[in-house]
Structure 1
Amino acid sequence: MKEQQHSQASSCSGCGVQLQSGKPELPGFLPEAAMGRDPVICQRCFRIRNYNEASSVAVDQDDFLRLLGSIGSTDSLVVHIVDLYDFEGSLISGLQRFVGNNPVLLVVNKIDLLPKAMNVNRLRNWVQKQAKAEGLRTVDVVLCSAKRNMGFEHVIDALEQYRNGRDVYVVGATNVGKSTLINRLIRDYSDMERELTTSRYPGTTLDAVHIPLEDGKAIIDTPGIVYATRMTEIVPRSFLGSLLPDKPIKPLVYQLNAGQTLFIGSLVRFDFVEGDRQSFTFYISNALNMHRTKLERADELYADHRGQLLGGPSLEELESIPAWTRHSLRVKRGVNKDVFISGLGWIQVNGTSGALIDVYAPKGVKVMLRDSMI
């Protein structure tokens, strides 16, 4: 019986990676003595589940793209999960060329992080407009929170409506809540008793995981695409808990005059360079420290107090983060815009008089203007 289990346990039931017992530093490592367990999970998944600890294994990006490209030759429903909190940072803008003519259902996760007074219909319209602008054709858009069990019945209804007896491929960037949502699907939509590994750490799923359905088809959970343009990919893992909110954001409103600066921890500097006095609303994790100063003092303040008075990451951790790049953004008069910083959140420009803004962020992190979400 043990030999039979050993032969069946070729992949981890938590992350899908091929199991091996020879090299602890590579993905899929499991001591030989643990191979007979049922269900069997790799050592990395065991540490994530039990100790909230992730090892620094890496998976080749080409393998991710090769797997995505294979979807185009199938007859499947593609479920693209994005993080509403990091919409432009988590959307796979080139997805259409990978999936061919297969229908794409866009599932927008983590709506629980927005203020409760948010108009859901307006939000859905905003998502459809942004997705279309990125070249993504969708059969439908569903808003939900897999973690808080909000709107999940709509996800199930959409799967029933669009699957038509086909396999379901679930795709998304790292850390969008993909495995959390799949675990809900397993409980509600499949008779399989298993659970994928979930954590705050990017790239938890390392290989395709097949979850059989009662009609002989399957839900296929694919690895998360790693985008280095997101703040979540470059900060130390020990700081992710501060960067990623896990409860509804309390927006922070600042009335600023031209010539004032706001530091968001020691990660980002926001300069209001030019414009009439106006308010700016910050939609970021409430665990991050905010510090206001005059623009003329900003350089000196950062040099003297980064990683300390200005808040985390620490001085030592900042050494591993790329140096800042300046992004100069002009908001036209009478136009509602967000300054979006991938993996961090966004700042809504509330004034109607226009503004010139400089944003300093680690090199490579996506910083852009977009139509206001809220």
Structure 2
Amino acid sequence: MEEKRRCPGCGAVFQGFDENLPGYLVPGKNPDDGVLCKRCFQMKHYGVYRKALLADPGIQKDIRAHALGAAALFLVLDVSRPEISLPDLDWAESMKKPVFVIANKIDLLEPWTTRKEVLQWLSERTGVRQEQILLVSAQNRGDMAELRRHIEETFDAGDRLLFAGAANVGKSTLLGALLKNEMPTVSRLPGTTVGLTEYRMANGPILVDAPGLKGEDPFVPVLCPDCLAALSPKKVFQSSIEVLKTGQTVFWGGLAQLIVADAGERGWVRLGIFAPDSVTIHRTREERIDGLMKEHAGELLVPPCRKCAAKLQTQSWREEQFQIHPEEDLVVPGIGWVALYSGACTAKLRAPAFVKGVRRPWLIPSPARRQQGKKKN
């Protein structure tokens, strides 16, 4: 049976019946010499994003089938939002193959912490040995050269290495840097890759790019492509330190709010607020939440855009209550987190019902702790 020809950018089987679906080949084009489907061409050259969401069970089935012949599995995660990817580690390890964790986008955290500290944090959180965790930035040539060397020295030229992980963790960017070409279609839109695609390294094994899993990112099924892209940092991760009293609130755009319900006897807490650079961070009081959401979601408070803001208004919203202790973060999956740097408090997370807050140990220590560490060094 002749193997179906696939778009080298996203892995979709070429087709000529629907230009709105992945894999559409413009009439007159031949699927040779790196020709891209219409969707990939528009994303790569014009920044026109189109979602093509796949069901996770189908993706996992394909990954399991390819894993049978793989020498190892590389789970790629976005180190600035690891909660999106960490649940995938369980089923990755269930395939009985060597598993390596590539923690991408480490450059987003380097203004506030060190690679050594992040490596230790990830190892403690995952139970994966530090030797099997690789911290990289796909934008850093030195990191990519070191990762390329590691792969070439560890695996044979005929080995297949399966790269998997959540949507929009940077797999395609990573593979493009390893291959030293622009063949995988790269965008800030989750769900760009829609089929398993193989690429051969010049002096190494075959790299298999799997579609990103969507299940752990609560906003992927709901927001439009532009709003989803806004949740992926353009250049940096923003951070601010805020002193909040009981009743004061922090907005992450129009997507979620953190309310200090009880700041204890002292009456205030010091929080570190972290979010992608496209997300509006706005501080106010609890009684102003409804008015601001009604008047400014999609305008002052972005993301979402106006259309997604209207869609979110039809969703059920809820408040989760958390006891946050010193040296803990409260994560809003898919958006950002707050770090409790001083005091102890009861906080309420107000967000759409499909968003569930997560407590974890500090990812980024307090400024005072960082200064102590510098003095010790």
**Bin for the TM-score computed over the shorter chain:** 0.7 to 0.9
Matched, 1:179 2:175: no
Superposed CA offset, 1:210-229 (max 9, x none) = 11246784111111111253
Question: Residue in 2 aligned with 1:190?
Answer: none
Map 1:132-147 onto structure 2 (within 5 A).
132=127, 140-147=132-139
Deviation of 1:203 after TM superposition, in Å, equals: 1.1
2:116 aligned to 97, 114, 121, which one?
121
Other structure's SS at 2:89 match: coil
Question: Residue in 1 aligned with 2:217?
Answer: 229
Deviation of 1:74 after TM superposition, in Å, equals: 2.5
Instruction: Report the TM-score when normalising by structure 2.
Output: 0.86
Distance 1:253 1:99 in 2: 42
Instruction: Report the TM-score when normalising by structure 1.
Output: 0.86
Question: Residue in 1 aligned with 2:145?
Answer: 153
2:155 aligned to 126, 143, 163, which one?
163
CA contact (8 A) 1:283 1:345 kept: yes
Map 1:26-175 onto structure 2 (within 5 A).
26-35=21-30, 37-91=32-86, 92-100=88-96, 102-132=97-127, 140-149=132-141, 151-164=143-156, 166-175=159-168
Other structure's SS at 1:78 match: strand
2:318 aligned to 307, 321, 325, which one?
325
Deviation of 1:37 after TM superposition, in Å, equals: 4.9
Question: Residue in 2 aligned with 1:239?
Answer: 227
Which one-letter code corresponds to 2:341 in the other structure?
A: N
Which one-letter code corresponds to 1:35 in the other structure?
A: N
Other structure's SS at 1:350 match: strand
Compared with structure 1, are the counterparts of its residues 330 and 194 closer, same or farther at alpha carbon in structure 2 (3 Å cutoff)?
Answer: closer
Deviation of 1:88 after TM superposition, in Å, equals: 0.9
> Alignment identity in percent?
25
CA contact (8 A) 1:83 1:177 kept: yes
Superposed CA offset, 1:28-65 (max 9, x none) = 11123112552221111111111111234333433201
Compared with structure 1, are the counterparts of its residues 214 and 278 closer, same or farther at alpha carbon in structure 2 (3 Å cutoff)?
Answer: closer
Matched, 1:218 2:206: yes
Matched, 1:269 2:257: yes
Question: Residue in 2 aligned with 1:292?
Answer: 283
CA contact (8 A) 1:72 1:98 kept: no
Which one-letter code corresponds to 1:198 in the other structure?
A: V
Deviation of 1:23 after TM superposition, in Å, equals: 2.7
Question: Residue in 1 aligned with 2:368?
Answer: none
Which one-letter code corresponds to 1:313 in the other structure?
A: P
Question: Residue in 1 aligned with 2:335?
Answer: 344
CA contact (8 A) 1:205 1:223 kept: yes
Superposed CA offset, 1:158-187 (max 9, x none) = 323432553211111111110011011112
CA contact (8 A) 2:214 2:220 kept: no
CA contact (8 A) 1:330 1:356 kept: yes
Question: Residue in 1 aligned with 2:6?
Answer: 11
Other structure's SS at 1:33 match: coil
Which one-letter code corresponds to 2:359 in the other structure?
A: L
CA contact (8 A) 1:9 1:40 kept: no
Other structure's SS at 1:369 match: strand
Question: Residue in 1 aligned with 2:354?
Answer: 364
Other structure's SS at 1:18 match: coil
Deviation of 1:106 after TM superposition, in Å, equals: 0.7
Distance 2:307 2:280 in 1: 18
Q: Which runs of 5+ in 2 are unaligned?
A: 365-377
Q: Which runs of 5+ in 1 are unaligned?
A: 1-6, 188-192
Which one-letter code corresponds to 2:163 in the other structure?
A: V
**Alignment: residue pair count:** 356
Other structure's SS at 1:80 match: strand
CA contact (8 A) 2:328 2:361 kept: yes
Distance 2:124 2:60 in 1: 26
Which one-letter code corresponds to 1:294 in the other structure?
A: R
Superposed CA offset, 1:179-207 (max 9, x none) = 011011112xxxxx661111011111111
Distance 1:244 1:83 in 2: 10
Deviation of 1:143 after TM superposition, in Å, equals: 0.7
Deviation of 1:76 after TM superposition, in Å, equals: 0.9
Alignment RMSD (CA, Å): 2.5
